[in-house]
Structure 1
Amino acid sequence: MKNITKYQFKKILVLGLAKSGVTAASLLHKLGAFVTVNDKRPIAENPEAQGLLDQGIKVICGDHPIELLDEGFELIVKNPGIPYSIPLVAGAVDRGIPVITEVELAYEISEAEFIGITGTNGKTTTTTLIFEMLKQGERNPIIAGNIGTVASEVAQAANQDNKIVIELSSFQLMGIKKFRPRIAIITNLYEAHLDYHGGLAEYWEAKANITKNQTEEDFLIVNAEQPQLLEAVKDTKAAIIPFSTKAYLEEGCSVRDGKILFNGEEVMAIADLALPGEHNLENVLSSIAAVKLLGVSNEAVKEIMTTFTGVKHRTQFVAEVHGRKFYNDSKATNILATRSALKAFNNPIVLLAGGLDRGNGFDDLIPDLSNVKAIITFGQTAGKMEETAEKAGIKVIKRVDNVGTAVPAAFECSDEGDVILLSPACASWDQYKTFEVRGDIFIDAVHKLI
Structure 2
Amino acid sequence: MLEIKTYQNKKVLVLGLGMSGVNAARLLNKLGALVTVNDKQKFDDNKQAQALLADGIKVITGYHPVELLDENFEYMVKNPGIPYSNPMVQKAQSLGIPIITEPELAYQVSQSHWIATTGSNGKTTTTTLIGLMLNEAGHKAYDAGNIGIPASAVAQKAGKDDTVVAELSSFQLCGIKTLHPHIAVLTNIYEAHLDWHGDREHYVAAKMRITMNQTPDDYFIMNWDLPEMHELAKQSKAQIVPFSRKNIAGARSALIDGWLCFDGERIMKADAMQIPGTHNIENALAAIAAAKLSGVDNASIVAVLTRFTGVKHRIQYVTTINDRKFYNDSKATNVEAASVAINAFTQPIVLLAGGLDRHLSMDDLIPLVKAHVHAMVTFGETAELMNAVAEKAGIPYQQTENVKTAVPLAYAASKPGDIVLLSPAAASWDQFPNFEIRGDVFIDAVNALAESEE
Give the TM-score normalised by structure 2. Answer: 0.97
The answer to whether 1:76 aligns with 2:85 is: no
Quote the Cα distance in structure 1 between the aligned partners of 2:45 and 2:257.
59
CA distance in 2, matches of 1:22, 1:211: 27
For residues 8-59 of structure 1, give each alpha carbon's deviation from its aligned partner in whole angstroms, at most 9, with x where no partner exists.
Answer: 1111111111111111111111111111111111111112112222222221
Partner in structure 1 of residue 24 of structure 2: 24
SS in 2 for 1:428: coil
Q: Which amino acid aligns with 2:57?
A: I
Amino acid corresponding to residue 384 of structure 1 in structure 2: L
Contact 2:182–2:219 at 8 Å: present in 1 too?
A: yes
Render the CA deviation track for 1:258-299: whole Å, top value 9, x for unaligned.
111101111111121111111111101000100010111111
Counterpart position of 1:376: 377
Q: Secondary structure at the match of 1:68?
A: helix
Alignment match, 2:6 = 6
Determine the structure 2 residue equivalent to 1:439: 439
Q: Would you say the 8 A contact 1:146–1:167 is kept in 2?
A: yes
2 CA distance for matches of 1:97 and 1:109?
A: 20
Supply the AA of the counterpart residue of 1:364. D
Distance 2:56 2:271 in 1: 57
Query: Residue by residue, what CA displacement relative to the aligned partner does 1:326-364 show, whole Å, maximum 9, x if unpaired?
Result: 111110000000000111111111000001111112111
Q: Does 1:393 align with 2:394?
A: yes
Query: How many Å apart are 1:81 and its aligned residue?
Result: 0.8
Q: How far does the alpha carbon of each residue in 1:369-402 deviate from its partner, in whole angstroms, 9 at most, with x for none?
A: 11210000011111111011111111x1101111
C-alpha contact 1:208 1:233 (8 A) present in aligned 2: no
The answer to whether the 8 Å contact 1:331/1:423 transfers is yes
Gaps of 5+ in 2: none
Shift in alpha-carbon separation, 1:250–1:388, aligned structure 2, 3 A:
closer
Map of 1:312-327 to 2, 5 A cutoff?
312-327=312-327
- AA aligned opposite 2:388: E
Aligned to 2:175: 175
Q: Percent identity?
A: 56
Q: Does 1:119 align with 2:119?
A: yes
Alignment of 1:241-280 (within 5 A): 241-247=241-247, 249=249, 252-280=252-280
Q: 1:358 to 1:382 in 2, by over 3 A?
A: same
- Tell me the number of residue pairs that the alignment of Structure 1 and Structure 2 aligns: 449
Residue type of the partner of 2:441?
I
> Is the counterpart of residue 411 in structure 1 residue 411 in structure 2?
yes
Asked whether the 8 Å contact 1:216–1:239 carries over to 2, the reply is yes
Partners of 2:67 and 2:285 in 1: how far apart?
50
One-letter amino acid matched to 1:244: S
What SS does structure 2 have at the residue aligned with 1:363? coil
* Of 223-232 and 291-300, the range deviating more from structure 2: 223-232
Quick one: which amino acid aligns to residue 402 of structure 2? Answer: N
Q: CA deviation at 1:248?
A: 5.1
Measured in 2, the distance between the counterparts of 1:270 and 1:57 equals 51
Residue in 1 aligned with 2:92? 92
* TM-score computed with the length of structure 1 as normaliser: 0.98
**More deviation, 319-328/228-237:** 228-237
Contact 1:250 1:264 in 2 (8 A): no
8 Å contact from structure 1 (residues 245, 282) kept in 2: yes
SS in 1 for 2:131: helix
Q: Using the alignment, how far apart are the partners of 1:356 and 1:263 within structure 2? A: 43
Contact 1:211 1:233 in 2 (8 A): no
Q: CA RMSD in A?
A: 1.1
Tell me if 1:330 matches 2:312.
no
1: CA distance, partners of 2:251 / 2:194 = 34
CA contact (8 A) 1:79 1:101 kept: yes
Asked if structure 2 preserves the Cα contact closer than 8 Å seen for 1:249 and 1:264, the reply is no
Q: Does 1:424 align with 2:436?
A: no
Counterparts of residues 130-279 of structure 1 (less than 5 Å): 130-247=130-247, 249=249, 252-279=252-279
Amino acid at match of 1:166: A
For residue 380 of structure 1, what is the amino acid of its counterpart?
A: E
* Residue equivalent to 1:346: 346
Conserved in 2, the CA contact under 8 Å of 1:251 and 1:264? no
2:122, 2:283 within 8 Å by CA — same for their partners in 1? yes
Secondary structure of residue in 1 paired with 2:111: coil
2-side partners of 1:328 and 1:82: how far apart? 28
The answer as to whether partners of 1:222 and 1:240 remain within 8 angstroms in 2 is yes
